[in-house]
Chain A
Amino acid sequence: MADTDADGFEVIGVTPATVLKGGTLSAGGGLLLQVRSAIQRLGDGQVLEVQSAEPAVKEELAAWSRLTGNQMLADLDAGDHTRYFIRKGASGVPREKPDWGIKLPRRPGGRLDMRDWFVGRLGDVPEEAPAYLGFVPRGAVREPGMPEFPYTLNRRPEVWADNIADLYEQATAQQWNASTDIAWDSLPRLPDDVERAVCQVMTFLAENEYAALYIPSRFLPRINAQYTEVVLFLATVINDEARHIEAFTKRAVANGGGLQYSASLTEWSLHSLLVQEDYFQSSFLLHVLGEGTFLDLLDFLARFAPDPVTADVVRRARQDEGRHVAYGIAHVREQLRADPTKSEALVTAAEERSAVLQATTGANPMVMEALAIISGGGSLPEQMARGVEAVRALFNDMHEYRVRRMLQLGLDEATAQKISRLHTPNFM
């Protein structure tokens, strides 16, 4: 095999795969670094040509090649420079090539949207991902010999949801600021009984949101980073919950009241959720049942809120929770589709949790009373009567919507009814 290059030299048996023009760059001035990178990009046995006008480079290139297991084949005088030919030694590593030439489309307004990035190597979401891929961005070419990361969720169906990129884009578009986006100045003075009820509900909401923050935080580091859309989305969930805790706490202390009572039922309920080790079961209990039920609670509060500021806080929180529920439904549905027998694990999870909670009182009177006062408009007997009726209707709605969400998952009516009735009286 002969190769005639532009300078007219013929090098028998050597066809450089790459030519590196070093000019007068010294070995220590960056040339060796460039040579190492260039060699790394080659396949075993391929040849790199280095052109250099710097005489001292000769000794260094020869020594470097020996030490790194590569072979200096020849150096040729080419007049104003020297041509060095280095053959890459056997590294035993098949060389993958990274993507090049990808240019994602822009959406109206110049948007670069995650939904459009499923192209090339980045777009190849693997069914199963080895734990040694660590933090290698999906699509990048890795070097072998990396450590295993402590991931336990290494299979796509275990974490994926078909709407994940939509949900992520929604999440980033719908962020809000609990310090400045709420018209705290417009909060009117409320009668003490109503203010106290609002403060009690805010205490309860904040308490529950801690669980909704801690639970995805526990699972996130177990998810293989190859499923990056899920990881990024869960990061938005965690940030949402942080903002909700902030907003609910602020509402409790914004208007002359303060944080009120926490019930052991709530803590037992949230604890039983937190200790769940299985992501599939946890996702179902938290996102589908817990946050799903919370959607109905937040709807109820938005409808009966005694003032527009409180209504605004719960409406904003509800929008965020809607995304979390949408992830949970899509994620659990995807797994049930792949393996319908997994529905048994959902019944088991609900039963086990119910068994733990049976030892508790079964209701949270402070919260029930507060919800009745808010929906009845006060604590007078006729207001209470109206409020209790509204809360009863809320419970029916919660049950009905829980069942509907479970039907969306593909569970049958009887199973959905059974699980809904086992659901915690704490809502979450």
Chain B
Amino acid sequence: MGRAVIVGAVAYDPRVVTIWEGIRDYFHGVGLPTDYVLFSNYDSQVDALLSGALDIAWNTNVAYARCEQRANGGCRVLAMRNTDLDFRTRLVTRKGSGISAIGDLAGRRLALGSTDSAQAAIMPLHFMRQSGIDPEAEVQILHFDIDVGKHGDTGSSELEVLRAVHEGRADAGMVGHATWLRELEMGRVNSGVVESVWTSPPYDHCNFTALPDFDPSLAADWADALLQMDYGDERWRRVMDLEGVSRWVRGRKEGYRPVLEALGVEVK
């Protein structure tokens, strides 16, 4: 057996340690020694992957796009969570605001999450431009820059967006559908005040990124092993719950096209 596969992850919360201790145990158990390195932000993690210090990076879509930019589109997407497929942004508004589509945002107050969050800032701005709105010039944007560098992983800026819309400090807001649905399910959305009026086209979320020169057969073995992680197994259930995944799926690059486009990254 060769050296351990080194995987990078960003510690957006203390539970990340629990998750990665579990994943390390899992790979040890299947005979593919794996170790992890934690970063405080995605920029450092991308640097580490590009410098060869990491074999694989557990990236957000934005971090992945940065990797593609620097690797000229040659990155490999090894695996993703089932929840990373077809992610979407929601436009939520105050009821009676007269906003029923993204095109109605001109001249209105719009709350957005952290500048580096795909779902709560980057993609919303992109979708506005696509619908012919110049957000900088035509929309009064209220940015909640919280935990910048973590690409919106903490979700706290999205909660601020929802609060601002609830409290009337903004006419509308944009958040990821995962946060919206969780808040809805937990009864923390006052349906009399706030509603979701628009759902964005899909784009993919996080992935395990490897550079083109990472041993292809080891990459395949590693991804195959990850896909075998069983949600029904007591040992991995908690790790998977904490990571928000019930099934690991094979990576796909095409789902990231909208994100690359939004960030102006051109790939071959």
Chain A residues 12-51 with CB under 8 Å of chain B are 26-30, 32-33, 36
> Is B154 in the interface zone, CB < 8 Å from A?
no
Query: Would A28 and B237 be within 8 Å (CB), given that A67-B181, A91-B246 are in contact?
Result: no
| Cβ–Cβ contact B232 & A32, under 8 A | no
State in angstroms the CA–CA spacing of A66 and B204 once bound together: 13
Query: Would A28 and B184 be within 8 Å (CB), given that A67-B177, A145-B241 are in contact?
Result: yes
Query: Would A64 and B181 be within 8 Å (CB), given that A30-B187, A69-B82, A69-B246 are in contact?
Result: yes
> Is A92 in the interface zone, CB < 8 Å from B?
yes
| Cβ–Cβ contact B231 & A60, under 8 A | no
Contacts of B233 in A (CB 8 A): 92
> Is A63 in the interface zone, CB < 8 Å from B?
yes
Query: Would A64 and B185 be within 8 Å (CB), given that A28-B191, A56-B195, A91-B231 are in contact?
Result: yes
> Is A132 in the interface zone, CB < 8 Å from B?
yes
State in angstroms the CA–CA spacing of A317 and B186 once bound together: 52
Chain B residues 158-200 with CB under 8 Å of chain A are 177-178, 181, 183-187, 189-191, 195-196, 199
Closest to A44 in B: B232
Contacts of A185 in B (CB 8 A): none
Sort chain A's interface into a size bin: 20 to 34
A34, chain B: closest CB distance, angstroms: 10
Query: Would A145 and B238 be within 8 Å (CB), given that A26-B191, A63-B199 are in contact?
Result: yes
| Cβ–Cβ contact A92 & B86, under 8 A | no
B189, chain A: closest CB distance, angstroms: 4
Contacts of A67 in B (CB 8 A): 83, 177-178, 181
State in angstroms the CA–CA spacing of A27 and B246 once bound together: 23
- Of B185, B191, B230, B232, chain A has the most CB atoms within 10 Å of the CB of B185
Sort chain B's interface into a size bin: 20 to 34
Chain B residues 54-103 with CB under 8 Å of chain A are 82-83, 85-86, 88
Query: Would A28 and B232 be within 8 Å (CB), given that A66-B86, A67-B178, A67-B181 are in contact?
Result: no
State in angstroms the CA–CA spacing of A66 and B247 once bound together: 12
Contacts of B246 in A (CB 8 A): 68-69, 89, 91
Query: Would A63 and B177 be within 8 Å (CB), given that A28-B191, A32-B185, A69-B246 are in contact?
Result: yes
A317, chain B: closest CB distance, angstroms: 47
Query: Would A59 and B196 be within 8 Å (CB), given that A33-B185, A36-B185, A69-B247 are in contact?
Result: yes
- Of B186, B189, B231, B238, chain A has the most CB atoms within 10 Å of the CB of B231
State in angstroms the CA–CA spacing of A89 and B189 once bound together: 27
Chain B residues 220-255 with CB under 8 Å of chain A are 230-234, 237-238, 241, 246-247
State in angstroms the CA–CA spacing of A154 and B88 once bound together: 48
> Is A140 in the interface zone, CB < 8 Å from B?
no
Chain A window 240-270, contacts with chain B (Cβ cutoff 8 Å), 1 for yes, 0 for no? 0000000000000000000000000000000
Chain A residues 146-187 with CB under 8 Å of chain B are 146-147
Q: Which of B82, B181, B230 contacts A60 (CB 8 A)?
A: B181
- Of B178, B181, B189, B190, chain A has the most CB atoms within 10 Å of the CB of B181
Chain A residues 379-413 with CB under 8 Å of chain B are none
Closest to B237 in A: A145
A36, chain B: closest CB distance, angstroms: 6
Contacts of A66 in B (CB 8 A): 85-86
A27, chain B: closest CB distance, angstroms: 5
Closest to B83 in A: A67
> Is A93 in the interface zone, CB < 8 Å from B?
yes
State in angstroms the CA–CA spacing of A60 and B199 once bound together: 10
Chain B window 117-153, contacts with chain A (Cβ cutoff 8 Å), 1 for yes, 0 for no? 0000000000000000000000000000000000000
Q: Which of A33, A59, A64 contacts B199 (CB 8 A)?
A: A59
B159, chain A: closest CB distance, angstroms: 15
Closest to A59 in B: B199
State in angstroms the CA–CA spacing of A66 and B233 once bound together: 22
Query: Would A92 and B88 be within 8 Å (CB), given that A33-B187, A59-B199 are in contact?
Result: no
A65, chain B: closest CB distance, angstroms: 10
A52, chain B: closest CB distance, angstroms: 14
Contacts of B187 in A (CB 8 A): 28-30, 33
State in angstroms the CA–CA spacing of A29 and B186 once bound together: 9
Contacts of A89 in B (CB 8 A): 246-247
Contacts of B247 in A (CB 8 A): 69, 89-90
- Contacts A66-B85, A144-B234, A145-B234 given; 16 further ones with Cβ under 8 A? A29-B191, A32-B185, A56-B195, A60-B184, A63-B88, A63-B177, A64-B181, A67-B181, A90-B232, A91-B231, A91-B232, A91-B246, A145-B237, A145-B238, A145-B241, A147-B238
A-B contacts, 28 of them at CB < 8 A, read A27-B191, A28-B184, A28-B185, A32-B181, A32-B184, A33-B185, A33-B187, A59-B196, A60-B181, A60-B184, A63-B181, A66-B85, A67-B83, A67-B178, A67-B181, A69-B82, A89-B246, A89-B247, A90-B232, A91-B231, A91-B246, A92-B231, A93-B232, A144-B234, A144-B237, A145-B238, A145-B241, A146-B238
Using a CB–CB distance below 8 Å, which chain A residues touch chain B?
Answer: 26-30, 32-33, 36, 56, 59-60, 63-64, 66-69, 89-93, 132, 144-147
